[in-house]
Amino acid sequence: MKTILFVDDEPNILAGLRRMFHGERDRWDMSFAEGALKAMSLIEANAYDIVVSDMRMPEMDGTELLTHVRDLHPASVRLILSGQTDRVAALRAASVAHQFLDKPVEAAVLKQAIVRASDLESRLSQVRLRSALGQHNSLPSPSATLRLLNDELVDVNCDLGRVAKIIEGDLSLAARILGLVNSAFFNLPKELFSVRDAVVYLGIANVRALAATTDIFRALGGNDELARLASRLQAHSEGVLTLAQLINPRSAAPADLYLGALLHDIGLLAIAALLPDAWRTLTTSNEGDWTPDDERALIGATHSEIGAYLLALWGLPYGAVEIVALHHDDLPIVSAASLSDIEAVRVADAVQCEADLPVGHNREHDQQYLESLGIDEQLDIWRRQRSSTSIA
């Protein structure tokens, strides 16, 4: 039975949550705390599977509370309920909350968020994936640059000037950001030469996403062979990103889509870097063409799960972690006109693989998936866009 703690300083809100989920008592063990201080006493005594907190509370806000939850119980799933006027505060919580939901929230939406978060947490079980990684004692860690950016993002007085100075201290990241913002992808009327101007244009969330992608590929690309694999996967992922943004141009979380698309295959690089014997077995016996079932049979987990697990360890956004974890799941699509971020990346990955087919993909399976969607006309449009679009 999942244990869930709901936190709000308004008794009426808590009473509404009790009524809302009265029918879930058989499978959820729920606790309700009136205010952050009462929640802290419960959190110090109990490790909850899921904590759902309001953002604005008088003793301490949701960001501070969930920071304590993360430090005490890092495996706990952390959700924030945020009003429309709390966007600045919500940005501060980006490094500690797995998901944001607007208030007022419908029962079905909150229930679905809790179920999805719980399912993802179970899928990324630390015990199982640690076992799959062979209890590897040298898992890559975030660089000082990314840690500083995360700390700045949490700061209530987050300043673009300080963000720019942090980036300027990492020459490769600064070059990557300036190269991206001045690429044909954005098609700016004039070239930007200032990192601060690039940060203003891209937005802090997108800059953090770009810093994470640069950081992770750099951390895992430890020798010439790994560097070549990283370059190949990055080129494929940039094509997937371009397609995914065309497929879902109205993404509700564009930074998560950006990060999830660029890092969707990072688990392949992780297997090559951390489990070289398993990598050799996969590449030599399958000639680069294998399925997630092949990975699970050999390693105990798929590259999607390993990649998502590492991103979660790095504290990357929940939405991006979910995209990476599910990007090989055969998701049914109701309408080609309204794909979710996860669906957009899954379809974009399969379409892009027709052109470049990196390792760790099975062309036959991808083709069967695309054919099963029943959206042949739209797929043809995306295929044409694939061949005529690129990102620097």
Tens digit of pLDDT for each residue in 288-335? 688 889 998 988 889 999 888 888 767 677 788 899 999 998 877 766
Tell me how far apart the alpha carbons of residues 174 and 165 are, in angstroms, rounded to a whole number. 10
Q: How far apart are CA 11 and CA 216, in angstroms?
A: 44
- Residue burial 292-310, b: 16+ Cβ < 10 Å; e: rest: bebbeebbbbbbbbbbbbb
Q: Which amino acid is at 120?
A: L
Average pLDDT for 19-44 = 93
What kind and span of H or E run contains 370?
A: helix 363-372
Cis peptide before 104 (omega within 30 of 0): yes
Taking a C-beta distance cutoff of 8 angstroms, is the pair 299, 255 a contact?
Answer: no
Per-residue pLDDT band for 281 (boundaries 50, 70, 90) equals very high
Domains of the chain: 2-123 (3.40.50.2300), 132-388 (1.10.3210.10)
Give me the mean pLDDT over the 94-115 stretch: 78
pTM above 0.85, yes or no: no
Whether 76 shows a pLDDT value over 70: the answer reads yes
- Nearest alpha carbon to residue 34 among 73, 65, 63, 71: 65
> Is residue 362 predicted with pLDDT exceeding 50?
yes
| CA-wise closest residue to 55 among 105, 21, 16, 20 | 105
Question: What is the overall mean pLDDT for the chain?
Answer: 82
Q: How large is the average pLDDT for residues 179-199?
A: 80
Residue 336 reports pLDDT greater than 70:
no
Per-residue pLDDT band for 244 (boundaries 50, 70, 90) equals very high
Mean pLDDT of all residues in 357-383: 85
